[in-house]
Amino acid sequence: MAESTNKKRVLITGGAGFLGSHLCDRYLSEGYEVICMDNLVTGSGDNIAHLFGHERFTFIEHDVTNFIYVSGALDLILHFASPASPIDYLEMPIQTLKVGSLGTHKALGLAKAKNARFLLASTSEVYGDPLIHPQAEDYWGNVNPIGDRGVYDEAKRFAEAMTMAYHRYHGVDTRIVRIFNTYGSRMRLHDGRALPTFMRQALNGNPLTVYGDGSQTRSFTYVDDLVEGVWRLSQSDFTDPVNIGNPQEITILEFAREIIELTGSDSEITFEELPKDDPKVRQPNIGRAREVLNWEPVFDRKEGLTKTLNYFKQKVLSQS
């Protein structure tokens, strides 16, 4: 029997990145034809190597700040292209601003032309160094637009504004997910975020670097939970922003100690000056996700970290 030609098609920008590659896996498993687009500046072909040869997977190397061409119909666009760690957007500030502005504009233009649903990957960083805790979607944030971190925060805030403008003015069917700290396999060892840094340092027996006194908090979400939240939002009819994150809050100092215990390392902890505008707290209010998507995380931090440890062991071993 001939295979149906009515498969749904999704374009995932940033599809070779940490989150994007997991989304490629998920949408393939749901029967979609997946077009992965990435310029490989922070993404890696290694993250999607297992998908090459899959009959419903196509990779296009392209910078989304330039005109995006995709032949044929599209049902859905997941716009995940962007540097997403401090070390990246501090080294590439203009590229970060361009992908959040020009890249979002180009992706939305494609969604309009193809009559496709559009889902923007936004971030908890739109809340900046928050004065409201935990952070709900109706909080407008406390961002320093001219600080070093502002290039990422404001790029995402602009992307949200552009998305809603296309929704209201052009009638594009849009979704916005605000992603809180997420971890799992396919993270880069040297991307500057707390988890890969701590894992790399602990597995190498080096001191773990904690900034400030370590009292700043984060809320870490296992990647499978994040992907489930994005999937549910993409299939929903809800157009306002939705937080996807794990409300389990922990200080960075406590988190460093957890990683040392998990890895069995004898590493010590060293302290360095806290970067400017580093958020003091971060915890999602996920009431909207529970109500609208019937979503909440199912992996607690210990389970997720245990599942992630083997990946980092292999990465450290391969680079030693």
Catalytic residue positions? 152
Using DSSP's 3-state secondary structure scheme, residue 51 falls into helix
How many CA within 13 A on the CB side of residue 273? 3
Question: Distance (Å, rounded) from C-alpha 135 to C-alpha 132?
Answer: 6
Rg (C-alpha) for the chain, rounded Å, is 19
Helix (H, G, I), strand (E, B) or coil at 117: strand
Q: What angle do CA 203, 204, 210 make, to 5 degrees?
A: 80
**Cβ-Cβ contacts under 8 Å for 277 (sequence gap 6 or more):** 128, 129, 144, 147, 148, 149, 150
Total count of residues recorded for the chain = 320
Whether 282 contacts 130, CB under 8 Å:
yes
DSSP 45: G
